[in-house]
Amino acid sequence: MLYAQLHLTLPAWVHEEVDSQRLYPDDDSRIALAIQLSRRNVDHRSGGPFGAAVFTGEGRLIGVGVNRVVPHNCSAAHAEVMALATSQQRMQRYRLNEDGDRIVLASSAQPCSMCYGALVWAGVDELLIGARAEDVQELAGFDEGPLPADWIGELGRRGIQVRRDLMRDHARDVLRDYGEDGIVY
């Protein structure tokens, strides 16, 4: 029988462990949440070692995501896609910044080639990154796929500012713990 629907979920613990009411006013608080989500996803073994969150420019939290590839048998269920997609559902629009809201995506690690494309189409103005792609490869063994040589410049030409190496050591710690565990989840 052909499947005609797709159902992706975040783990139930996000409701208990994420403060959705507070403001996240700066880069540090935003990337800290993304890294916290990656850490909790490893602690709970509810997916791979990646977390992401979407904010308004003022720091209101719109949505969060964690990696759910293995639990859902879905290679698209990366943290950034989950964060963008749940935000799109909440806002009921597929371009998050279309009515002038400034939209910030924070990711515990540099987006892979798929998420790089996804964030371009989702209407993002700023991208905050913890770990680098080489950290992901070195510590967790994931191939992040091909990006344009000047991927930061390409985003800049589309109006998306990138800031990286934010709390990079903390983001690397999560990737290292996942990699050393030796179990894929």
Pick 11 or 51: Cβ nearer Zn ion: 51
Query: Among residues 80 and 101, whose Cβ is nearest to Zn ion?
Result: 80
Of 53-61, 62-70, 88-96, 104-112, which part binds Zn ion (CB under 5 A)? Answer: 104-112
| Binding flag, residue 77, Zn ion (CB under 5 A) | no
∠ CA(30), CA(33), CA(36), 5° rounding? 150
Contact region for Zn ion (CB under 5 A) — 23-31, 38-46, 108-116, 156-164?
Answer: 108-116
Q: What part of residues 113-152 is at the interface with Zn ion (CB under 5 A)?
A: 114-115
Angle at alpha carbon of residue 133, lines to 185 and 29, rounded to 5°:
80
Nearer to Zn ion, 65 or 123 (CB): 65
- Residue 68 interacts with Zn ion (CB under 5 A)? no
Read off the amino acid at residue 172: R
Return the residue of 34, 112, 133, 140 that touches Zn ion, per CB under 5 A: 112
Q: What CA–CA distance (Å, rounded) separates 134 from 7?
A: 31
| Of residues 33 and 136, the one with the C-beta less far from Zn ion | 136
Q: Which is nearer to Zn ion, 114 or 147 (CB)?
A: 114
Site residues for Zn ion, window 12-51 (CB under 5 A)? none
DSSP-derived pairing of the beta strands 161-163 and 126-131: parallel
Compute the distance between CA of residue 167 and CA of residue 163 in angstroms, rounded to an integer.
11
Contact at 8 Å (CB) between 65 and 10?
yes
Q: Yes or no: say if 21 and 62 are a contact pair by the CB < 8 Å rule.
A: no
Residue ranges binding Zn ion (CB under 5 A): 78, 112, 114-115
